[in-house]
Chains A and B, each alone.
Chain A
């Protein structure tokens, strides 16, 4: 049993599409991932959230997430730019980032790994497939891998 289960570990989902978010949240529930999940719908919001800036100043005590699921295709700052900022920020660069996107474009895949993404997953279209993907994500990141002791 992974000791990570003993602590409340939060996950940050960055996605502009609320349907997708809803699907993820439901999938998390279905696979029994009970961690706290935060949602940011823009890249800027995600960075503010992580740095406890802007709208998130008040919640400065909130724990930083132990895993970020990042969509690429977003209005305004896109996923790659967000990833770039995270990897440049000494306070954030240790957080594993899983790219969670519709795109299967090799260019995007390569660019993300180059920028320091920890995994690149394509969003399945069919919900059952999505649930399966999330199950594997959970098994890997929360049951197999060891995450940083404390996010950010």
Chain B
């Protein structure tokens, strides 16, 4: 409603128009005045004034005052009386507006039951009393009417004003606001029908009841028509019909027709007016109620549309079922999930969406819940299997809630369904990965475990549980006292805490007593880590080194014993051979003396035997010397240095020059040999021995010795890069003796070589020297095909 603060031109025109209309309608009312000339039961100006204020604001009041003053001044009254009445009428309109507004708010009043009630009670019944009282007193005071008529004048005044407020005001309010609805074809037809019914009813009531065979007129026949108008056309229909009824009734009654015709005209008008007021009030209340309902339905349907839009578009499926399991609603997401369209499932039992094993029990579930109120799933939610239209099943997350339906009594359940196939798949993958990891961990032979900051085990592998002697459930999460000895706890805790606090990996030896009381020495590697919640854990891998430790200790003992025994052996060899030499020397000396001193006294045989004795003693001396040397080779440190083997061989060749020439032997070095770190003098000895053998054990006229280095030649499984070799065209060695030749004092019986001088220890020295260098010696030889001796020096250089 507009609020006018200024009296602009339009407002003034409105005021003047209002005054004119007021004046006009009042004159029509006065034409039906019976109690007094200035008082009538038909008084539209009250309604017009009220409507004007409601439509245009209270500042329109001067128009009311002016209209009322004009009306009364021209009604044979003193001016003072007219002023009083005009004031009363203005006050009436003003208070009617004010009270209504206080009670029912800013409107629109006709569309709400409360507004209509306010109109009836405050505007029509209460505020009109002001006008009636002031007006009647003014008339009586002004001497226009006698005080004796006060009661009847007051009542007619009041009734007339009330009628105006309830007939004219609603009419103006209903039709005074734009826009008017465009009527449809159906509505047009209904309008015509209703108009016809109105005409007919009015005709029957007021003019010719006998038309339908009735002997008396029954005014209440109008009710169905008014109610129809209220239902179908709202307050506009009601106010029009009321106006029409009012007009017909007044006309008929004043022409002695209709149900009120048998009363005196004054009384008849009172009754008629009351009747019209009742009809109007009824119709208005009815249409207001309809309006309210229409409004709330509109709101409800809008919210339902919005809700449907939401439900249709949510990703989760939503199904509503009733207490019998019949599907009531089914959203679009469900179509995607189950493959059924909504029309395929609505009205059917929800069992069709479940695999058989769930379906058979579903009715029971619902019944149990309805009976006992105990829910297996309602309000909880769980993972279930769903059945698609194509017959496949899938995992789904279902949460069910009971919903109270709009009408109240019916039990409905809504289920939200989420297809969790993908999640399940992902979970399965994670689970598989976890299982794989667990089985890998379980296959680790060493105990592996995880601990939290309270030193409780949070996980581990089979080896761990085997060590602790029980199933994992017994230990996971339990107090560390269940698997640790009281006295061992502080040490373990300290070790754990070191990892927790430093956040660094440690490797420590820990002593652990198992459930059987056996002591274990564990070498445990511990690392700290944080989980996604920021909690600290440690993961440990323990290696049981008890046996290793034992073996280590034993090995150390053995090594020491071996060292001592080797030392003793060396000492023994040295001392023994040393001490053996002394009597031998005596033997030789004495033999020499004997030969010298008894030269003339010994015969040839005696001399020969003594010479043999000397030879044997000398040979024994050589053997002992070799033994001594051999034992020294094992004892003395190597003097390693960077050595050029080419140079070494050259020196050896020079040293052996006479020997080589004697035997017509030639040494060749086809390719320069790489330098090597070794004991130069010992390696020279190796080459000298090998070359000597190559020449000595040779029956060819020209004895050829080749010395060189062969890259890639090595013993299997060794990481050597190559080997030195000494090759000859000599007699060769039967593979049968390839090992024996390295034994000390081992000589081969070779008829090709008449050698009485050798002790058979040269190769033994060679082997010893090479072994001291951590190298290997081996040979490739067959009788009559020559020999190749290979050796490595275990040096990284070659």
Binding site for B on A (CB under 8 A): 17, 19-20, 22-23, 26, 73, 102-106, 123, 125-128, 130
- Residue in contact with B581 in the complex, picked from A22, A125, A127, CB distance below 8 Å: A125
Residue contact A20 to B586, C-beta cutoff 8 Å: yes
Cα-based distance from A30 to B614 in the complex (angstroms)? 20
- Residue in contact with A127 in the complex, picked from B578, B579, B588, B636, CB distance below 8 Å: B588
Residues of chain A within 8 A (CB-CB) of B632 are: 105-106
Residue contact A125 to B574, C-beta cutoff 8 Å: no
- Residue in contact with B585 in the complex, picked from A73, A104, A125, CB distance below 8 Å: A125
Residues of chain B within 8 A (CB-CB) of A126 are: 588, 592, 614, 618, 621
Residue contact B574 to A105, C-beta cutoff 8 Å: yes
- Residue in contact with B578 in the complex, picked from A17, A26, A102, A130, CB distance below 8 Å: A102
* Nearest-neighbor residue (CB-CB) of B617 within chain A: A125
- Residue in contact with A19 in the complex, picked from B578, B579, B589, B614, CB distance below 8 Å: B589
Please give the distance in Å from A27's CB to the nearest CB on chain B: 10
Cα-based distance from A34 to B438 in the complex (angstroms)? 98
A125-B618, A125-B621 known; A102 vs B582 contact (CB < 8 Å): yes
* Nearest-neighbor residue (CB-CB) of A30 within chain B: B596
A104-B628, A106-B636, A128-B592 known; A123 vs B585 contact (CB < 8 Å): yes
Residue contact B586 to A17, C-beta cutoff 8 Å: yes
Residues of chain B within 8 A (CB-CB) of A73 are: 578-579, 582
Residue contact A127 to B589, C-beta cutoff 8 Å: yes
Cα-based distance from A45 to B454 in the complex (angstroms)? 82
Q: What total of chain B residues lie within 8 Å of the partner, measured CB to CB? A: 20
List B130-180 residues whose CB lies under 8 Å from chain A. none
The reply on B590 being an interface residue by CB < 8 A is yes
Chain B interface, >50% SS class: helix
Residues of chain B within 8 A (CB-CB) of A23 are: 585, 589
For B614-650 the 0/1 string (1 means CB < 8 A from A) is 1001100100000010001000100000000000000
Residue contact B588 to A125, C-beta cutoff 8 Å: yes
8 contacts between A and B (CB under 8 A): A17-B586, A19-B586, A19-B590, A20-B589, A22-B593, A23-B589, A73-B578, A73-B579
Residues of chain A within 8 A (CB-CB) of B585 are: 19-20, 23, 102, 123, 125
Binding site for A on B (CB under 8 A): 574, 578-579, 581-582, 584-586, 588-590, 592-593, 614, 617-618, 621, 628, 632, 636
Cα-based distance from A129 to B690 in the complex (angstroms)? 29
Residues of chain A within 8 A (CB-CB) of B586 are: 17, 19-20
Cα-based distance from A19 to B584 in the complex (angstroms)? 11
* Nearest-neighbor residue (CB-CB) of B595 within chain A: A127
Please give the distance in Å from A102's CB to the nearest CB on chain B: 5
Residues of chain B within 8 A (CB-CB) of A130 are: 589
Cα-based distance from A128 to B579 in the complex (angstroms)? 21
| Given pairs A125-B585, A125-B618, A130-B589, 7 additional interface contacts (CB within 8 A) | A19-B585, A19-B589, A73-B582, A102-B585, A103-B578, A126-B618, A128-B592
Cα-based distance from A102 to B582 in the complex (angstroms)? 7
* Nearest-neighbor residue (CB-CB) of A123 within chain B: B585
* Nearest-neighbor residue (CB-CB) of A19 within chain B: B586
Please give the distance in Å from A49's CB to the nearest CB on chain B: 23
Residues of chain B within 8 A (CB-CB) of A105 are: 574, 578, 632
* Nearest-neighbor residue (CB-CB) of B618 within chain A: A126
**A-B pairs with lowest CB-CB distance, top 7:** A19-B586, A127-B592, A23-B589, A125-B621, A125-B585, A102-B581, A127-B589
Please give the distance in Å from A120's CB to the nearest CB on chain B: 15
Residues of chain A within 8 A (CB-CB) of B618 are: 125-126
Residues of chain B within 8 A (CB-CB) of A106 are: 632, 636
The residue among B585, B586, B593, B628 with the most chain A CB atoms within 10 A of its own CB is B585
Cα-based distance from A26 to B589 in the complex (angstroms)? 10
Residues of chain A within 8 A (CB-CB) of B581 are: 102, 125
Please give the distance in Å from A79's CB to the nearest CB on chain B: 13
Residues of chain B within 8 A (CB-CB) of A20 are: 582, 585-586, 589
Residues of chain A within 8 A (CB-CB) of B628 are: 104
Cα-based distance from A102 to B574 in the complex (angstroms)? 12
Please give the distance in Å from A113's CB to the nearest CB on chain B: 17
Cα-based distance from A123 to B584 in the complex (angstroms)? 12
* Nearest-neighbor residue (CB-CB) of B579 within chain A: A73
The residue among A17, A22, A73, A126 with the most chain B CB atoms within 10 A of its own CB is A126
* Nearest-neighbor residue (CB-CB) of A17 within chain B: B582
Please give the distance in Å from B616's CB to the nearest CB on chain A: 13
Residues of chain A within 8 A (CB-CB) of B574 are: 105
Cα-based distance from A126 to B585 in the complex (angstroms)? 7
- Residue in contact with A125 in the complex, picked from B579, B584, B590, B636, CB distance below 8 Å: B584
Residues of chain A within 8 A (CB-CB) of B582 are: 17, 20, 73, 102
Residues of chain A within 8 A (CB-CB) of B593 are: 22, 26, 127
* Nearest-neighbor residue (CB-CB) of B587 within chain A: A19
Residue contact B589 to A22, C-beta cutoff 8 Å: yes
Cα-based distance from A130 to B621 in the complex (angstroms)? 14
* Nearest-neighbor residue (CB-CB) of A18 within chain B: B586
Cα-based distance from A22 to B590 in the complex (angstroms)? 9
Residues of chain B within 8 A (CB-CB) of A102 are: 578, 581-582, 585
